[in-house]
Structure 1
C-alpha cells in the first residue's frame, strides 16, 4: 500500500527534474517573472475547472483561513517558481536542481519549528547521505564547486524554503482534498504573480512578452503547465497527504538526478564519480523509505472475562412438598462452556 502512495511524489519529482532544462530554454525568449505568471495563469485555469466540476463553488471558500491560504500560495507558487526561474538565469539547470535536494532537510526543520516535531535521526541522516550523493553528481567530486553558485544559489535557497513551508502547509488542511488545496493556493499565488508582473512591467524592469515570444516557447509552456504544474503538483499534494510531509520530501533528492539524466541525453557525458553519486542518492532514498515504513501491529484478540453465573435463590421448601424442586439451570453459564 505504501509503495502505491510513493508513486505520487515520484511522478512529481521526475516531472520537475525534466522541467529545469525545459524552462531554461524558454527563458531565452521570455522574462522569468512573466514566464512564471503565464505558466500559472494557464495552470490555475485548468485546476479551477477541475475543482468546480468535482466539488463545486463551495470548495473555493477558505473557511476563515484566507490569510494562511494566501501566504502558502505566495510562498509555494509565486515564491518558489519565480525565484527558480530567476536562478536559472545565473546558473546551469543541474546546479540549480542541486538545491532542490535540500528540501527534505528544510521541510523537517520547518516542521520542527512550527509543530515542535524533532526530525527522526534516520530521516535526517539519510537525507544528508542523499545530499552528498547529489553533490557528487553535480560537482563531479569537486565539492569546492558548491561555493560558486553566487546569486543563483541565494535565490534557490529562498525558493526551497518557500516550497518547504508550502509542503508542510498541506498537512494542516487535512479536511480539504488535494485538488482543493492545490487550486486555492495556486489561485492566490497566481493573483500575486499577476499583480507583481504588472508593476514590474510598468516600471520597465522587464518586458511584456509578445505573442510571437509566447508562440516560440509554446511547447515548453505546454509541458510546464499540464505536466509540471497541474499533474505534478496534484500528485505531490496527494503524496504529502498519504505519506506525510517529511517522508514525501525525501523524493526531492531525485530532482537533480533527473535533471542530470536529461542533460546527459542531450549530449553531456558523465564521469565515474557522477554515476557513483547518482547510485548513492537512489540508495539513500530507498533506505529512507524502508526505515520509515510503519508496520501495523497485529491485533491481539481481546480476552473477555467469563461472566459470573447468576445465583438464584434456592427454591422455597413447602411443608407439604414430597420432593424438592430440581436445581435451577443458569443459561448464561451454559453458554460459557
Structure 2
C-alpha cells in the first residue's frame, strides 16, 4: 500500500465517522434509536460475516467470551447511547463531544490497566474537557446540559472503554475481519433483543432516512473500519489519531452546507478540543540512536 493511499484510507474513515452524526439526525427522526442501531449492525454484521466466508475464514468459538464483552461494550452500548443521544442534540455538538475520545481512552487505560500517561496527555485533558463544557453549557449563558449531550458523552466513554478492552482482550491468533464480524454480530443480536423486548417495531424508513442509514452502515461502519485498520498498520496509532480531528470538522462542514453553520460557541469549543487532542496525540520525537526507534 502506497503512503498516499494510506493517508486516503485514514482520511476516508475520519470523514465517514464525522458524517455519521449528520446522517443520524434523519434516521432517529423516523426510527426508534434501538431499532436504528439494530438494523445498522445486523446489516454490517452480515457484510462482515460474508467477507469472512469469502476469505475462507471462520469465527473461532474459543474466543466467545472476548467477543461477547467487546460486542456489548463497543457495539451495543455505544450505539444505543449514540442513537438515543442524537435524538436531542445537534450533529456538531455530538461530534465535538466524541472528539474527546482519544483522551478519554488514555485516561481509562491509565485508571484500569495501568497504562502510562505522558505529560502532554495530562495537560491536554482539562483543556479538551473545557472545550466540551463550553459547547454543552453554552459558554455559561445557562448552566444546563441537554439530555442528548449527556448520552453522547456516555457513548464516548463506552467507546473509550471498548478501545481499552480491545487492547486487553482482542484475540491475536484470528484475523481482524473475523473478529470484527463476531463483535458486530454480538452487538447486533443484543440490540435486536432489546428492541424486541421493549416492544419497538422494526419499521421501513423513508427514502432519505434509509439512504442515510445505509451510508452509516457501509461507509461509516464496514469501509471506515477496514480503511482505519489499514491506515494504522502503516502509520501507527499515534499518527493516525491526528486524523480524528477531522470528525468534528466534517460534521461542521456538512451542517453548514445544510444551512446550519456552527455557532461562535461551537467554534470556540472545537478549537480547544481539536487543539488539545492534537497536542496529546502528536507523535513524540524519538532519539535516532535508540534501538527502539529503529524498529
The residue aligned with 1:66 is 64
State whether residues 97 and 152 of structure 2, in contact with CA within 8 Å, keep that contact through their aligned partners in structure 1: yes
TM-score normalised by L of structure 1: 0.72
The residue aligned with 1:256 is 248
Deviation at 1:221, TM superposition (A): 1.7
Structure 2 Cα separation of the partners of residues 267 and 247 of structure 1? 33
Which stretch of the first structure deviates more once superposed, 38-47 or 243-252?
Answer: 243-252
Deviation at 1:236, TM superposition (A): 3.7
Deviation per CA, 1:138-183, whole angstroms, max 9, x where unpaired?
46x9432695333223322321122112222333434433323322
The residue aligned with 2:186 is 188
Give the 3 Å change call, closer, same or farther, for CA 220–130 of structure 1 in structure 2: same
1:32 pairs with 2:41: no
Query: Looking at CA atoms only, which structure, 1 or 2, has the larger radius of gyration?
Result: 1
State whether residues 122 and 291 of structure 1, in contact with CA within 8 Å, keep that contact through their aligned partners in structure 2: no
Structure 2 Cα separation of the partners of residues 158 and 271 of structure 1? 24
State whether residues 40 and 186 of structure 1, in contact with CA within 8 Å, keep that contact through their aligned partners in structure 2: yes
Deviation at 1:226, TM superposition (A): 0.9
Q: Number of residue pairs matched?
A: 288
Deviation per CA, 1:113-157, whole angstroms, max 9, x where unpaired?
332112111134235445545666x46x94326953332233223
The residue aligned with 1:154 is 150
Deviation at 1:234, TM superposition (A): 2.7
1:163 pairs with 2:159: yes
Give the 3 Å change call, closer, same or farther, for CA 259–146 of structure 1 in structure 2: farther
Structure 2 Cα separation of the partners of residues 178 and 15 of structure 1? 20
Deviation per CA, 1:87-123, whole angstroms, max 9, x where unpaired?
1112222222232122122211221233211211113
Structure in which a larger fraction of residues adopt helix: 2
State whether residues 124 and 277 of structure 2, in contact with CA within 8 Å, keep that contact through their aligned partners in structure 1: yes
SS at match of 2:115: coil
SS at match of 2:89: coil
For structure 1, list consecutive stretches of 5 or more residues without a partner in the other structure.
300-337
Mapping 1:133-282, distance limit 5 Å: 133=131, 138=135, 142-144=138-140, 147-172=143-168, 173=170, 174-201=172-199, 206-209=200-203, 211=204, 213=205, 215-238=207-230, 251-270=243-262, 275=267, 278-279=270-271, 281-282=273-274
Deviation at 1:86, TM superposition (A): 0.5
Give the 3 Å change call, closer, same or farther, for CA 171–11 of structure 1 in structure 2: farther
Deviation per CA, 1:58-80, whole angstroms, max 9, x where unpaired?
3x004x33122111111111111
TM-score normalised by L of structure 2: 0.81
Structure 2 Cα separation of the partners of residues 297 and 175 of structure 1? 33
Which stretch of the first structure deviates more once superposed, 156-165 or 279-288?
Answer: 279-288
Structure 1 Cα separation of the partners of residues 63 and 154 of structure 2? 24
Deviation per CA, 1:240-294, whole angstroms, max 9, x where unpaired?
6666767765654442232122111212344666556545555544444444355
Deviation per CA, 1:291-310, whole angstroms, max 9, x where unpaired?
435565366xxxxxxxxxxx
Structure 1 Cα separation of the partners of residues 231 and 52 of structure 2? 18
1:15 pairs with 2:13: no
Structure 2 Cα separation of the partners of residues 80 and 145 of structure 1? 30
1:93 is matched with which residue: 88, 91, 98? 91
Which stretch of the first structure deviates more once superposed, 148-157 or 45-54?
Answer: 148-157
Give the 3 Å change call, closer, same or farther, for CA 82–239 of structure 1 in structure 2: farther
State whether residues 171 and 244 of structure 1, in contact with CA within 8 Å, keep that contact through their aligned partners in structure 2: no
Structure 2 Cα separation of the partners of residues 235 and 146 of structure 1? 41
The RMSD of aligned alpha carbons is 3.3
